A = this chain, B = another copy of it.
Amino acid sequence: MKIALDVMGGDFAPQNPIGGVKLALESLPAITKLFLVGDPAAIEKELKAQGVSSPKLEIVPASQVVDMADSGLDAVRKKKDSSISVAVNLVKDGKAEAVVSAGHTGAAVTASLIKLRTLTHIERPAIASIMPSLTKHWVLIDAGANPDSEPAHLVQNAIMGSAFARHVLGRDNPTVGLMSNGTEEEKGNALCKETSKLLRHTAGINFIGNVEGHDVWDTPPDVVVCDGFTGNVILKNAEALAHSIFSMVKSEIKSSFWTKIGGLLAKPAFKRVHTRTNPDEVGGMPLLGLRGITIIAHGSASPFAMKNAIRQACESIQHQVGPHIEAAATAHSISLHARS
């Protein structure tokens, strides 16, 4: 498998992306080529510092870096030689099978959208995030690609999320819920209410209705659909809240001798919960709906998270969910025309 990595993207670039490369080379034998895209001098220096070298690595120069303050569109239009643009071009040109970036999400989405283009009958790409819960993993879609979504986009998110849950997570006839502010049908904002009506009549979607907090963190459906703004807010709040709760527990445990002893004994239990809820374990989120594979990693991704994002890229190359999405979206479009 050939993967392009945006080495300059992320809060801790190029250290953490190169740290991820090191771990990936050790644990992902399916990789035959890793294109390291960015400033050659910075990359070579970091490879040397971390003692990484492999014939599988190839440095591809890119002279610009997208700044977090750039808008996604501006970043792609004005910085044609940015690491993310050059990395996506490698996929577009068939040299790489997937691109991984921990950089500016908007720029990664826009570059992928413009260069790779959407699948037939998909208007907007969406980020699929694999989320934990008490009982099973679920897919949050859209986790941040398209902040101003329309009802048709959310229906397409349902189609993409279902295909992903079926073909990647192995869920048979995956259930789909619509994130809302109440489970009753008449709850929701205008976008929700309109989407709910559409999803009730979308062939091939096992729609179970509106869902809210306790549904998704306890016994979630396989797929939870929302707009990219709401999804990103859910994702970031969940990560931060989980982190804060662990910090509170840690500090309270340190407050007395006996709780400290208790904390030491219970540590393996905490560790298992931490592993179950740690976003670094998943590492990357596929951007679905495009004619090519883009994996979005967290801006603050650790080397471990970057390695897992590269692993996600390998899995995406293996599963090739794109054609399944296109088939489902086409079937939906035909059924729409048959009804109208």
A-to-B contact residues, CB < 8 Å:
68-69, 71, 105-106, 133-134, 144, 147-148, 179-182, 184-190, 192, 212-218, 227-230, 232-245, 247-249, 252-253, 255-256, 258-259, 261-270, 272-273, 276-277
Verify A240–B218 contact, CB threshold 8 A.
yes
Alpha-carbon gap, A215 to B234, bound state (A): 14
Q: 7 interchain pairs (CB within 8 A)?
A: A106-B187, A134-B244, A212-B237, A212-B240, A213-B239, A218-B244, A266-B266
Question: Which one of B144, B148, B230, B267 lies within 8 Å of A233 (CB-CB)?
Answer: B230
Q: Are A213 and B241 in contact (CB under 8 A)?
A: yes
Q: A71-B186, A214-B240, A233-B233 are in contact. List 19 more A-B contacts (CB 8 A).
A: A69-B186, A147-B189, A147-B190, A182-B232, A212-B233, A213-B235, A213-B236, A214-B236, A216-B237, A216-B240, A238-B241, A248-B273, A249-B269, A253-B269, A255-B272, A256-B269, A259-B266, A261-B262, A263-B266
Our pick among B182, B190, B239 for the contact of A148 (Cβ within 8 Å) is B190
Number of copies: 2
A326–B204 CA distance with the chains assembled, in angstroms: 52
Chain B residues lying within 8 Å of A272, measured Cβ to Cβ, are 252, 255
> Residue among A69, A71, A252 with the most chain B CB within 10 A?
A252
List B contacts of A248 (CB < 8 A). 134, 273, 276-277
Q: Is the CB of B179 within 8 A of A233?
A: yes
CB distance from A229 to the nearest CB of B (A): 4
Cα(A68)–Cα(B186), bound, Å? 10
> Is B253 a contact of A266 with CB atoms below 8 Å?
yes
* Cβ–Cβ < 8 Å partners of A243 in chain B: 214, 217-218
Chain B residues closer than 8 Å to A144, beta-carbon distance: 181
**Residue from B134, B240, B247, B259 in contact with A265 in the complex, judged by beta carbons closer than 8 Å:** B259
Contacts of A184 in B (CB 8 A): 68-69
Tell whether A261 pairs with B265 under 8 Å between CB atoms, given A186-B69, A213-B238, A242-B241: yes
Least Cβ distance of A35 to chain B in Å? 27
Interface contact A269-B273, CB-CB below 8 Å? no
